[in-house]
Amino acid sequence: MTFQNYKGLNSTFNTEEVEAPEINENLCFNSELIKQIREKSPSIVDQLEDNGTVYAELVHEEPQLIWTEQIHGLEEITDKNGNVRPRGFQTRNDEDVNHDVVDDLADDMQKKRWDPTEKTGVVFVLEGTDYEGCSYSPRGVERLYGIANLTHRHKAAEQAGEDYIAAWVVRIDMMKFRKWANAVLNNKTKSDNPITEKDIAATIQADIETEGHELAALLDKATNDSEKRDVLTKEVESYNVKARTVDVIVRLLEQMDVLQMERKRHDAETIPVFFSTYLNDWKPSKDKNLDYETDKGCIVTVIAQGNNHLSVVNKIAEHKNSGSEKVLRIAVANNNNKDYNVTEENRDILRLQFPKKVREHMKKISDAYIAIYQKGSHPAPEFVFIPEFADEYSKIDPEDEGTVFIRL
């Protein structure tokens, strides 16, 4: 319903438009508190720009007291073009509200013990966006602001009966909004509740699916999987994540079918998803030596990289010695390193390298055991022990190497 519709209804039913209340000095967010916040709360000027990209601009040079009824929260909102955001302007993948956090914040507000030195939340103006005039409170108040980083505080203010909440007010291009909220406002170095890998992947997915977004254009220009991964890698790096996390997120994007990649690489996060999707009768095993189990058999999962074949050898031996008669399957995923070139042509050749390494290592162990402990054709290793207690150190003679170690 548009603002004019509301004005028409007000006129028809002879009701007055709801106006913002006077600031209640008896509530937490009052004139004195906003003065202290302006003096003591950290500025967000350094967060308006990141890695050379200007995301937003300040509407006011200081935090403002914003009427809570003029803020659009987690309610569904539809823009002028019919595009729906079912969770308002929430940018997190799985999370909306932690009610324990809201309760704690509301308690602080009711007891008027708000710390003015803490970071102040951020709202953005809907004016000039496709969402202007698209949101109204139940009382017909037009919502003028969206939440960039204020959800829990806004909920708490409503719960505590506050009329106003302190916030920075910015203007932002909605094409950049989601990334700004996650990459800058909620990144792992600047937020008390930082984003997760799934948050970043979901944000990148949303940007790719947004018509006219520059990221989608860059991917359209990529001619093969390698070029696509390079584009995604640079995009993930712009979220200020640790180097070891970058390829984890790229692999997650592959599994989410964000791009039509020839190959989807697996890791410890995606393998359980694969099993729950395609083999849901196989349940996680209670046996720490196994990963999945049914009446039909049992499975150990492994990524074919590094020394993982050594772990599989041990699991095979443990399964044999357990007395179980179930068939043990070793479910292998190829090396997921981005530089490991697996193609449709060489995939099976590379896959067979792992079981070969497992068999070779088992034979190596078997040959060594037989030669050393059964045939005696090779000297047995000598086990010596390093001193730990005072009485053991007291027996060491630096001139006699034979006294340095303990022999049992």
Does residue 390 fall inside a structural domain? no
Q: Are residues 169 and 241 in the same domain?
A: no
Question: DSSP assignment, residue 124?
Answer: E
Q: Are residues 58 and 137 in the same domain?
A: yes
Among residues 174, 192, 210, the one where a domain terminates is 192
Whether residue 7 is predicted with pLDDT greater than 70 in this model: the reply is no
Closest to 55 (Cα-Cα) out of 135, 170, 222: 170
Range of the domain at 186: 3-192
Q: Are residues 184 and 209 in the same domain?
A: no
The span from the CA of 207 to the CA of 177, in Å, is: 10
Q: Across residues 216-229, what is the average pLDDT?
A: 87
Lowest model confidence (mean pLDDT) among 9-13, 104-108, 211-215: 9-13
Structure tokens at 8: 């028409």
Maximum mean pLDDT: which of 52-61, 201-210, 242-251, 273-282: 52-61
Q: Are residues 218 and 171 in the same domain?
A: no
Q: Across residues 20-25, what is the average pLDDT?
A: 96
pLDDT tens-place string over residues 375-406: 999 999 999 999 999 999 999 998 898 899 99
Q: Across residues 173-180, what is the average pLDDT?
A: 90
Q: Are residues 88 and 132 in the same domain?
A: yes
Give the pTM: 0.65
Does residue 389 fall inside a structural domain? no
Looking up residue 119, the CATH number of its domain turns out to be 3.90.1530.10
User: How many structural domains is the chain composed of?
Assistant: 3
Does residue 235 fall inside a structural domain? yes
pLDDT tens-place string over residues 101-145: 999 999 999 999 999 999 999 999 999 999 999 999 999 999 999
pLDDT at 355: 96
pLDDT at 190: 53
Q: In a 10 Å sphere around its CB, with 0-12 CB exposed, 13-18 middle and 19+ buried, how is residue 190 labelled?
A: middle
Structure tokens at 134: 């698209």
Q: Across residues 147-166, what is the average pLDDT?
A: 96
Q: Are residues 346 and 202 in the same domain?
A: no
Q: Please, what is the average pLDDT of the chain?
A: 89
pLDDT tens-place string over residues 289-325: 999 998 889 999 999 999 999 999 999 999 999 988 8
- Residues of the chain above pLDDT 70, percent: 93
Does residue 402 fall inside a structural domain? no
The span from the CA of 342 to the CA of 235, in Å, is: 23
Does residue 387 fall inside a structural domain? no
Dihedral of CA 121/127/132/138: which sign? positive
Q: Are residues 10 and 80 in the same domain?
A: yes
pLDDT at 318: 94
Does residue 285 fall inside a structural domain? yes
Residue 345 pLDDT grade (very low, low, confident, very high; cuts 50, 70, 90): very high
- Give the contacts of 120 (CB within 8 A, at least 6 positions apart): 37, 41, 42, 44, 63, 166, 167, 168
Q: Across residues 54-60, what is the average pLDDT?
A: 95
Q: Are residues 9 and 134 in the same domain?
A: yes
